[in-house]
């Protein structure tokens, strides 16, 4: 038994659905008990020390004990090209992404990037990622192998493309199905790993490939499916040219069996009213990628409007189109986007999105993204005074959310005091 002492926040409800003051409980001197890779208990220091007198104690003082951050959409093969200058989506893919991804048939290269990627994200307090790999099975093997070494719960899959990409990055409808099925059978449910069926997006898959992947998903309905939708206007026009019989972008996926519960739809900035209604009706998840949307010039996600419509929404870095590996920076960007749309997000809403909200989007909120007893012990400990600038602002705070907000807006990896994965200390 291990006791972690510090400040704790426990969400009792979705802060988008109830007043934020009613959504969470703050314990100024709180404790979390870990046992067997799970959260065994949560409460006050006095109560849990009395309850577990033999437990090993780690006292983090005024630091915040939080669920580990959940990054619901990323491209680990783009680690080395993050913060590349001056492109919009289609030019970004052709100039930076495709040349880099072409290297991932080399197992040694893939393994090296995967190791670097997980070093960077865990240094930023992230304990779960959902990544697009490349068309190469070696890229998937490298991703899951590196995650398993660290005891992480991660999700990912082979990216499938059979047109509008370099020859070195194209598969076929049959090989996309066969490779994805073999990788799914090899990795899904092993350790804490989950396979995700992954067509990159409609422009890079023929109807035959989308149909093959829809068939694979129908055969394996317990896995998730991830793709991109409505990121930029040029992309939407391209999809309309490629699929002239489709009602809209979403209809392309739907006609091939790629819309439903368990679908993770990245970006979703420029959705039509019909698409919004249909996505809500089938309970698919929308993944907000604010640093990427601003960096590549895509647009402003309608968090307020979509939450008002009761959509299931997660938060993500979208590295390397996103410009940071940090979910703190991603929360800050989400706040800025919401400000530009006239509906600023409360710190409780931001923190919920980066933890339980993203876990809910992945349909894993019974396992991660929370400090509830019985869930998996993935924990990030946050120093709420990690720099002089943050500390001098936080000292004026009147409640816990005012204390947390400067770290959201100005924090970086210096704020990450410790990371626990599956009940074991990974970083300190």
**Would you state the pLDDT for residue 119?**
98
Continuous segment of H or E residues that includes residue 46 = helix 45-51
What pLDDT shows up at residue 89?
Answer: 80
In this structure, are 48 and 128 located in the same domain? no
Range of the domain at 275: 69-361
Running DSSP on this structure, what letter comes out for residue 69?
Answer: E
Give the pLDDT confidence of 5-19 residue by residue, as tens digits.
Answer: 999 999 999 999 999
Instruction: Compute the distance between CA of residue 110 and CA of residue 133 in angstroms, rounded to an integer.
Output: 10
In this structure, the answer to whether residues 162 and 24 fall within a common structural domain is: no
Strand 379-382 relative to strand 416-421, pairing:
antiparallel
Give the pLDDT of residue 56: 97
Residues 337, 408, single domain; the answer is: no
pLDDT tens figures, 138-172: 999 999 999 999 999 999 999 999 999 999 999 99
- Summarised one tens digit per residue, pLDDT across range 192-201 is 999 999 999 9
- Based on the domain organization, do 73 and 62 belong to the same domain? no
For residue 87, pLDDT over 80 is answered with no
In this structure, the answer to whether residues 95 and 131 fall within a common structural domain is: yes
Please, what is the end-to-end C-alpha distance for the chain in angstroms? 19
Are both 59 and 193 inside the same structural domain?
no
pLDDT in tens, 128-141: 999 999 999 999 99
Share of the chain above pLDDT 90, in %: 96
Residue 401: which CATH number? Answer: 2.30.40.10
Q: Can you give the pLDDT at residue 85?
A: 86
Burial of 172 (0-12, 13-18, 19+ CB in 10 A): middle
Q: Helices (DSSP H) in 220-272: which residue ranges?
A: 233-242, 249-255
Rounded-to-integer distance, Cα 214 and Cα 108, Å? 32
pLDDT value at position 93? 87
Q: What number is the average pLDDT over the span 253-266?
A: 98
Q: Which domain-ending residue is among 361, 394, 413?
A: 361
Split into its structural domains, the chain has a count of: 2
- Under 8 Å between Cβ of 419 and 381: yes
Same-domain check for residues 299 and 228: yes
Non-local (6+) Cβ contacts of 278 within 8 A are: 250, 254, 259
pLDDT at 158: 98
- What CATH number did the domain enclosing 155 receive? 3.20.20.140
CA 339, CA 344: separation in Å to the nearest integer? 5
* pLDDT-derived band at 94, boundaries 50, 70, 90: confident
pLDDT tens column, 39-68: 999 999 999 999 999 999 999 999 999 999
* Same domain flag for 172 and 244: yes
Mean pLDDT of 275-284: 98
pLDDT in tens, 330-356: 999 999 999 999 999 999 999 999 999
Residue 97 CA to residue 198 CA, distance in Å, equals 16
Rounded to whole angstroms, how far apart are CA atoms 364 and 345? Answer: 23
Mean pLDDT score of the chain? 97
Report, as an integer, the average pLDDT of 71-87: 92
- Provide the strand spans (E) within 232-323: 263-267, 285-288, 312-315
Mean pLDDT (whole number) for 90-100:
88
| Overall pTM > 0.95 | yes
Best CA proximity match to 386, nearest among 63, 7, 6, 5 = 63
Q: What is the mean pLDDT of residues 291-316?
A: 97
* pLDDT above 80 (res 270): yes
The mean per-residue pLDDT over the stretch 106-127 comes to: 98
What are 193's two structure tokens? Answer: 């790993």
Nearest to 217 by CA among 204, 203, 227, 229: 227
Q: Which residues of 227-242 are buried (b: 16+ CB within 10 A; e: fewer)?
A: bbbbbbeebbebbeeb
Q: Are residues 182 and 246 in the same domain?
A: yes
**Domain finish residue from 305, 331, 361:** 361
Answer whether residue 91 shows pLDDT above 90.
Answer: no
User: How many whole angstroms separate alpha carbon 183 and alpha carbon 136?
Assistant: 11
Q: Flag whether pLDDT at 37 surpasses 90.
A: yes
How far is Cα 324 from Cα 233, in angstroms, rounded to an integer? 24
Asked if 47 and 110 sit in the same domain, the reply is no
At residue 208, does pLDDT exceed 80?
Answer: yes
pLDDT band at 78 (very low <50, low <70, confident <90, very high): very high
Q: What residues pair up with 225 in beta bridges, in sequence order?
A: 197, 263
Report pLDDT digits (tens) over 364-389: 999 999 999 999 999 999 999 999 99
The answer to whether 383 and 61 are in contact (CB under 8 A) is: no
pLDDT of residue 86 exceeding 80 = no
Of 329, 361, 393, which one is at a domain's C-terminal end? 361
Query: Do residues 93 and 55 both lie within one domain?
Result: no
Same domain, 27 and 113: no
275 band by pLDDT with thresholds 50, 70 and 90: very high
Alpha helices in 76-106 (DSSP H): 89-92, 98-101
């Amino acid at each position: 038994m291990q006791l972690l002492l510090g400040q704790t926040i426990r969400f009792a409800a979705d802060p988008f659905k109830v007043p934020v003051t009613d959504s969470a409980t703050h314990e100024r001197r709180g404790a979390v008990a870990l046992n067997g890779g799970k959260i065994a208990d949560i409460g006050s220091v006095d109560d849990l020390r009395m309850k577990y007198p033999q437990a090993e104690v780690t006292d983090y003082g005024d630091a915040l004990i939080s669920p580990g951050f959940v990054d619901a959409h990323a491209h680990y093969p783009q680690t080395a090209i993050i913060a590349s200058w001056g492109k919009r989506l289609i030019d970004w893919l052709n100039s930076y992404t495709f040349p880099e991804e072409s290297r991932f048939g080399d197992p040694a290269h893939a393994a090296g990037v995967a190791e670097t990627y997980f070093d960077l994200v865990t240094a930023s307090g992230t304990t779960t990622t959902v990544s697009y790999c490349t068309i190469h099975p070696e890229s998937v093997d490298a991703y899951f192998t590196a995650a398993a070494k660290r005891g992480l719960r991660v999700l990912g899959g082979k990216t499938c493309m059979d047109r509008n990409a370099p020859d070195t990055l194209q598969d076929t409808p049959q090989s996309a199905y066969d490779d994805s099925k073999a990788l799914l059978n090899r990795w899904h449910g092993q350790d804490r790993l989950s396979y995700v069926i992954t067509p990159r997006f409609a422009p890079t898959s023929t109807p035959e490939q989308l149909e093959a992947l829809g068939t694979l998903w129908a055969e394996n309905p317990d896995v998730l499916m991830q793709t991109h939708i409505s990121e930029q206007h040029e992309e939407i026009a391209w999809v309309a040219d490629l699929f002239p019989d489709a009602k809209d972008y979403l209809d392309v996926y739907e006609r091939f069996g790629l819309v439903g519960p368990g679908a993770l739809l990245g970006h979703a900035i420029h959705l039509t009213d019909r698409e919004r209604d249909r996505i809500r009706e089938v309970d698919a998840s929308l993944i907000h990628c604010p640093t990427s949307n601003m960096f590549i010039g895509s647009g402003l996600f309608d968090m307020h409007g979509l939450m008002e419509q009761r959509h299931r929404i997660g938060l993500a870095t979208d590295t390397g189109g996103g410009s940071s590996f940090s979910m703190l920076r991603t929360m800050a960007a989400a706040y800025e986007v919401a400000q530009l749309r006239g509906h600023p997000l409360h710190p409780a809403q931001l923190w919920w999105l980066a933890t339980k909200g993203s876990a809910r989007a992945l349909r894993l909120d019974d396992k991660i993204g929370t400090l509830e007893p019985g869930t998996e012990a993935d924990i990030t400990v946050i120093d709420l005074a990690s720099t002089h600038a943050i500390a001098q602002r936080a000292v004026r705070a009147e409640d816990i959310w005012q204390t947390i907000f400067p770290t959201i807006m100005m924090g970086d990896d210096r704020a990450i005091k410790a990371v626990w994965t599956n009940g074991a200390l990974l970083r300190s």
